Amino acid sequence: MAESTRLLTDLFGILGPRRVPDASPADSSVTNVVEASYPTKALQKFLAGLQASDGPLLLDLGPVVGGNVTFFAEQLGCRLRVEDIAKDIDGHVKDGIVDQLPEFFSNRFPQDPGTVDGILCWDVLDYLDRPAAQALATSLSSLLRPDGCLLGFFSTADSREAVYTKYVIVDDSTLKYRTYPAVRARQRSLLNGDIIRLFKDLRVTDSFLMKSKVRETLFRKPAPRR
Q: In whole angstroms, what is the distance from residue 190 CA to residue 127 CA?
A: 11
195 SS3 class: helix
Q: In whole angstroms, what is the distance from residue 224 CA to residue 226 CA?
A: 6
> Are β-strands 18-19 and 188-189 bridged in parallel, bridged antiparallel, or unpaired?
antiparallel
First to last CA, the chain: 44
Q: At 42, which amino acid appears?
A: A
Question: pLDDT tens track of the chain, all 226 residues?
Answer: 444 444 444 434 433 433 333 333 344 334 456 899 999 999 999 999 999 888 999 999 999 999 999 999 999 999 999 999 999 999 999 999 999 999 999 999 999 999 999 999 999 999 999 999 999 999 999 999 999 999 999 999 888 889 999 999 999 999 999 999 999 999 988 888 999 999 999 999 999 999 999 999 999 999 887 6
139 SS3 class: helix
Measure Cα distances from 56 to 105, 142, 147, 148, 199 in Å: 23, 17, 12, 10, 22
Question: What are the structural domains, with CATH classification, of the chain?
Answer: 2-21+41-157+189-220 (3.40.50.150)
Helices (H), 37-153: 42-50, 66-76, 85-94, 101-106, 130-143
